[in-house]
Structure 1
Amino acid sequence: MEDASISLLLGILCFLILCSAFFSSSETSMMSLNRYRLKNLVKQKHPAAKKAQKLLEQPERLIGVILIGNNFVNILASSIATIVAFRLWGDAGIAISTATLTIVILIFAEVTPKTIAALHPEKIAFPAAHVLGPLLKIMYPLVYVVNQITNGILHLCGISTTSNDSKNLSTEELRTIVNESGDTLPQGKQSMLLGVLELNEVTVEDIMIPRSEIIGIDLDADFQQILDIITSSEHTLLPVFNSDINKTIGILHLRDLTKLIQQNNLSKTTLVQTIREAYFIPESTRLQVQLINFLNENHRLGLVVDEYGDIQGIATLADILEEIVGELSSQQNEQSSEIHKQADNSYIIEGSAFIREINKSLNWQLPTNGPKTLNGLITETLEVIPQANVCLKVAHYHIETLQISDNQIKSSRLFALDSPEDDDD
């Protein structure tokens, strides 16, 4: 080394700095790879991706070979830089080489390559995998010894070397990924995926048609009234009961009446003979479970019951599917809209509107851990049935009751408060 020319030593020094940059960028890029994209590329038989995945299966060995290589070239570079500086400046060269090499390594072998690797991990990691694989085989004995010593030290310190973190994504993590998918995922598909993720968090009670809005056939009513309900109904499945919905005796499928109508043989008696057995659902059933139950048991409508067996509403297969894909009919969506935007950016919302639907439509955050409808939220907050033109604040939203009828809030005006100053007003 003493006989080597300064130009040769400088050439070796530059090569070692490039090697250091390679190891630094390799470490960052390998650790920054998207594991799920990597698995997808492996399925597509991408050769570099397969090598990268194999290296990442044992990260302690990968990190070991990278750090051994990086430290080796950095120490060797420091020694050569010291020799060059000593020849040029004597004893003062030691301090000069230390300061200069520190800056050079920091900029050109650490910060710059690691930044590039973090921004473009695949472009760095995949080519690096072709080098790191053979290098690991060559240096495996040394890597093994270093890892064993390291694991022994960690064991003495009471630190487990086994990762306890699950590699499976939680629902919240999946939701974050979908929300941050941006332009790579169309808005419609993004909404559908979010709807699927919410199925396990939403219960039948959250989406059911409440008892007060159930349209059914009361056998105690006049037959003409029953015919009017059948001919005017927008639904093909109707509950059949005696005077009270809790006395439901079955479900009528309007399609089953076709033959009776053609034979001019439709009466209360023949109608009762065509009804199907009622299907009951506990109100706490999660949508994910109920969707499977509907499909397995070949039902499309169920009567939602509380813990006492009283009917609280109706839930259908279509209601659950709409949680995933949105309204199945745009015309139905327009006709049944309960949210009406005003010129002043406030909204007139019907009291029967579900809070979840309001939040979803307006991107609001009204509390959902209590009442399910706007009417219930207002009455629970005030603890009385209010008169018209009563104002209140719930969370960061201003609410003004507009129309009260039959002990229910029919409509209210709502708007979001923009700032803390608005809250005080």
Structure 2
Amino acid sequence: MFDTVAANIALVLLFILIGGFFAAAEIAMVSLRESQVRKLSQRGRRGERVAKLARDPNRFLSAVQIGVTVATMLSAAFGADRLAAQLVPVLEGWGVPVAVAPVLALVLVTLAISYVSLVLGELAPKRLALQRAEGLSLYVAPFLDRIAALSRPIIWMLSKSTDGVVKLLGGNPGADREEVTTEELRDMVVGHTDLTADERKLIAEVFAAGKRQLREVMLPRTEVEFMEADTPLSDAARLAATLPHSRFPVYRDTYDEVIGFVHVRDLLDPELTGRTEPISALVPIRAAKFVPASKRLLTTLNEMRDEGQHLAIVVDEYGGTAGIVTMEDLVEELIGDIRDEYDVEEDVVILPAGEIEIDGLTNLNDFATETGIRLPDGPYETLAGFVMAMLGHVPAAGERVEFSGFELTVTELDGRRIARVRVKRRQVVESPPEQDS
């Protein structure tokens, strides 16, 4: 009898493990990301089969469900029929009444099979499949494909029935799984333990830069050092020697008619020292890249890299010159400031008492990073633009605005432009409690 019981238990365990195989196969296929599917499709015939199945969920889900259902049904029926009957005499020997023993045996066997099925047939296989989805899918896909081929009539009927129910419930039977959103990707990056803090920060900057437009990061035309095409070479070389820039936009008549740019190396060529002819006649005017102010930062960076351009002229919606961007400006938006020996002035200066003095041309995102204060969006891109919008006029030095518990004071002007702003937390003076008369 012991051999018979052991054989029956072994058969039940076999059916449970078969169900566990199908459960693991389902999770392995379902949890494959699109990037993994594309990679697997390039790994020979097995990989192609995985990709084919993954893109036809009705086919493999139906095959899996057939396998799980058959295995579960066999383990339950076999256990109830054989094991419960063999447990009845044991219970009767322990003093359980004859009328109660069959029912109790059935309940105990059902509970035992259910527990083992949950652990060995569901939870453990699915957890392992989640951890090794890519590798496991390569092994299970051929078997699932054969099961699906053999069960094609049943799968066809199940698929049509499923499509009908999905449509009845308001779903789209032909729709694929939902795409991962940008927010979900960002959350995945933040929670990824294999990435260092610097790597997570860099990826977060890439996500942020993907939404940013050139108007938010460009150097405005009022701050650009232009050179007129008719400028004598000696004057242009003298100016270039005093500035930290390597490239200068060249224009005719007005700043809106930029014809290209000159490189400082051409201006300081020893063979041309002292020449007074116009720069347009002596040095090469290199073709400039023109980009709209609404163009995305990352797109522009990729184009400039592919074209070997280090400077681009930003054009507004009216065709005029709005400013310039350089390769360095765009890279700095991803990895932070790149300072060299010519960058002598700090954009942000920490003052006593926790005050901060910051450049008025700081864009809103950089201002939030430096101070922790997020200014509202509006018809402006910089801190200076926000202050002007709040005041409603061109300010004088010393004028201030208040926002969200902070005081922003104009400390320096460059013509009519706000050059520097001091930021400090506003002091809240509490009135003394009133004395009882």
SS state at 2:398 partner? coil
Distance 1:363 1:136, change over 3 A: farther
Is 1:21 matched with 2:20? yes
Q: Pick closer, same or farther for the CA change 1:51–1:342 going to 2, 3 Å.
A: farther
SS at match of 1:160: coil
How far apart are the structure 2 equivalents of 1:93 and 1:339? 79
Structure 2 residue 77 is the aligned partner of structure 1 residue 74: no
Pairing partner for 2:211 from 195, 201, 204? 201
Q: CA distance change for structure 1 residues 389 and 132 in 2, over 3 Å: closer, same or farther? A: same
1:319-338, aligned counterparts within 5 Å?
319-324=329-334, 326-327=336-337, 329-331=338-340, 335=344, 337-338=346-347
**CA 1:100/1:409 → structure 2, altered by over 3 Å: closer, same or farther?**
same
How far apart are 1:162 and its partner, in Å? 0.7
Q: Please say if 1:374 is aligned against 2:386.
A: no
Alignment correspondent of 1:90: 102
Query: 1:68 corresponds to which letter in structure 2?
Result: I
Aligned pair 1:183/2:194, yes or no?
yes
- AA matched with 1:53: A
Q: CA deviation at 1:412?
A: 3.5
* Residue 232 of structure 1, CA deviation: 0.7
Q: CA deviation at 1:42?
A: 4.7
> How many Å separate the matches in 1 of 2:362 and 2:399?
19
- 1:270 equivalent to 2:282? Answer no
| Residue matched to 2:157 | 145
* Alpha-carbon spacing, 1:25–1:281, altered in 2? closer, same or farther (3 Å): closer
Amino acid paired to 2:243: S
Distance in structure 1 (CA, Å) of the matches to 2:342 and 2:192: 27
* Maintained 8 Å contact 2:396/2:410: no
Conserved? CA contact 2:40–2:50, under 8 Å: no
Is the contact between residue 42 and residue 49 of structure 1 (CA under 8 Å) also seen in structure 2? Answer: yes
Give SS of 1:183's match.
Answer: coil
Q: Does 1:211 align with 2:209?
A: no
How many residue pairs get aligned? The number is 408
Distance across 1 between alignment mates of 2:422 and 2:326: 30
Distance 1:155 1:263 in 2: 78
DSSP 3-state at the match of 1:33: coil
TM superposition score normalised by structure 1: 0.74
Conservation of the 8 A alpha-carbon contact between 1:218 and 1:226? no
Decide whether the 8 Å contact of 2:387 with 2:401 is kept in 1.
no
**Equivalent pair of 2:234/2:273 in contact (CA under 8 Å):** no
- Counterparts of 1:370 and 1:332 in 2: how far apart (Å)? 35
Contact 1:375 1:409 in 2 (8 A): yes
Local SS of the residue matching 1:19: helix
Amino acid at match of 1:32: S
Kindly indicate whether the alpha-carbon contact (under 8 Å) linking 1:217 and 1:229 is maintained by their aligned counterparts in 2: no
Distance 1:44 1:60 in 2: 23
Q: 2:293 aligns with which of 257, 262, 283?
A: 283
Distance 1:297 1:27 in 2: 47
Deviations 1:198-253 (A, max 9, x none): 66533332222123322234699999875542321222322456896457676444
Q: 1:10 to 1:398 in 2, by over 3 A?
A: same
Letter in 1 for 2:73: I
**Does 408-417 or 34-43 show the bigger shift?**
408-417
Q: Are 2:409 and 1:401 aligned?
A: yes
The 2-side partners of 1:131 and 1:215 are apart by 69
User: What pairs with 1:335-374 in structure 2 (closer than 5 Å)?
Assistant: 335=344, 337-341=346-350, 347-359=356-368, 365-367=374-376, 370-374=379-383
Moved more, 197-206 or 374-383: 197-206
Matched, 1:237 2:247: yes
Cα deviation 1:130-160 (Å, max 9, x = unaligned): 6434444444443333334433554566653
Q: Confirm or deny: 8 A CA contact 2:234 2:274 kept in the other structure.
A: no
Q: Is 1:161 aligned with 2:173?
A: yes
- Decide whether aligned partners of structure 1 residues 293 and 13 sit closer, same or farther in structure 2, where only a CA change above 3 A counts: closer
Question: Does 2:123 align with 1:111?
Answer: yes
Gaps in structure 1 of 5+ consecutive residues: none
Give the whole-Å Cα distance in 1 for the aligned partners of 2:373 and 2:47: 42
Tell me the SS of whatever aligns to 1:371.
coil
Three-state SS of the structure 1 residue aligned to 2:22 is helix
Residues 54-85 of structure 1 show CA distances to partners (whole Å, capped at 9, x for unaligned) of: 43232212111211111112122222232232
**CA–CA distance in structure 1, aligned partners of residues 50 and 365 of structure 2:** 44
Contact 2:408/2:424 (<8 A) preserved: no
Unaligned runs of 5+ in 2: 89-100, 431-437
Deviation per CA, 1:169-202, whole angstroms, max 9, x where unpaired? 66666655555555357946973x6666666533
- Normalization by structure 2: what TM-score? 0.73
- Residue 9 of structure 1: how far off its partner (Å): 2.5
Residue type of the alignment partner of 2:80: T
Q: 2:235 aligned with 1:254, yes or no?
A: no
2:402 aligns to what? 392
- Aligned-residue CA RMSD (Å): 4.4
Per-residue displacement from partner, 1:299-339 (whole Å, max 9, x unpaired)? 64444343344433223344334445655x54269635412
Cα deviation for residue 411 of structure 1 reads: 3.2
User: Identity percentage over the alignment?
Assistant: 21
The alpha carbon displacement at 1:414 in A equals 4.4
The residue type paired with residue 402 of structure 2 is L
How has the CA–CA distance of structure 1 residues 94 and 51 changed in structure 2, closer, same or farther, with 3 Å as cutoff? same
Find the aligned partners of 2:252 and 2:272 in 1 and give their Cα distance: 26
CA offsets, 1:265-310, max 9 Å, x none? 522x433534738855443333455457657887644443433444
